[in-house]
Amino acid sequence: MATIQKRKKSWRVQVRRKGGTMSATFDTKAEAEAWAIATEAKILAGNGVENIVQEPIAPIAGKAAKDVFTRYAKEVSPGKRGGRWEEIRIKMLIRRSRLFDRPITAITGPDMAEWRDKRLCKVSASTVNRELCLISSMFTHAMKEWRVGLTCNPCALITKPRKPRPRTQRVTIADRKAIITQLGWNETSEPTTSAQWVAFAFYLALETAMRKGEILSLRWSDIDFDARHAHLDMTKNGDERDVPLSKAAMTLLRIVKEPEPAAPIVPVQTGHFDKLFRDAKREAGLSHIHFHDSRREAATTMAPKLSNVLELAAITGHKSLSMLQIYYKPTPADLAARLDA
């Protein structure tokens, strides 16, 4: 049986089993409990107290939060979808805040609240929520798997920023033409430059409601021209999906002559893609347009052509009506015209 007692700034644990006694002192209660469990298990397995070698537990509780975060980036993030971007975010979090130089056990709820408020002065509430979610995951994993001496996750002690209203931005014909003009594409010729491929991808998104990442993941072998669909092996929600291709989408894809089956449909790396699109929309005076707005535009224009919301969800890949509502944004004039049809 183990007895754990607080002694000033340390925790003393004593294990009594089979007539023998062992004791040790640790910086945190969590480390003391872990040692007690491991020691009792060894004794119950048949080892006498005199034969047990005391193995010190790694003092992770005294480590700086940034060191624990770095370990998470190396050991946990690579096993996730989007792990590369998570590693980049973790490095950014460490670099931008001195808070994470402190021992991980010294970070409190008020500390995280102060961090939240400072970040809100620089970035949107959505960004802060994403970062808080990541930080919370790192605290939770460290508590469960690495015996960090925290009694609770400090992120759970604060209120997350209120989510902003969902975007309602549509992409007009004039908007899309202005952007592809800046990217140097004429809508009909096979793209030859990276900028033109970005324009091509933007038009494909407007015709299919596919996400940017989904388009960049596609290879020509994923396109079934006979059955008129594009196969997505992995999507944001973790499922595969077959995206039906309209006549306009088919015409767009057939602009490319004799593509290699194993080649990507859009041969541009994500980072370069983002920069090209960002620069083009700025030069066109359309900084308020996001590439992802093409998904809303596509879903909204598709909806009247379909018989029910389930068909639209099958195309976009949404699993809930509440999420689909964010992307279906008809104008009052459009709805009024349908009432008179």
Q: Which residues are catalytic?
A: 211, 236, 318, 327
* Residue 158 · residue 197 · CB < 8 Å: no
Complete DSSP assignment for 156-224: GGSPPPPPPPPP-----HHHHHHHHHHTT--SSSPP-SHHHHHHHHHHHHHHH---HHHHHH-BGGGEE
Distance separating alpha carbons of residues 269 and 108, to the nearest angstrom: 40
Reading the block at residue 92, the tokens are: 């950014």
Best CA proximity match to 170, nearest among 333, 338, 59, 295:
295
The residue length of the chain stands at 341
Residue 107 has which token pair? 């970070």
Q: Which residues are CB-neighbours of 262 under 8 A, at least 6 positions away?
A: 219, 220, 221
| 316 C-beta neighbours (distance < 10 Å), count | 24
Q: Could you give the angle at the alpha carbon of 79 between the alpha carbons of 75 and 81, nearest 5°?
A: 135
Q: Classify each residue of 159-195 as buried b or exposed e, where b means 16 or more C-beta atoms within 10 Å of its C-beta.
A: eebeeeeeeeebbeeebbebbbebbebeeeeebeebb
CA distance 265 to 145: 42
Residue (of 29, 30, 26, 48) closest to 39 by Cα position: 48
8 A C-beta contact, residue 149 and residue 61:
yes
The pairing of beta strand 20-26 with beta strand 223-224: unpaired
287 neighbors 281 (Cβ within 8 angstroms): yes
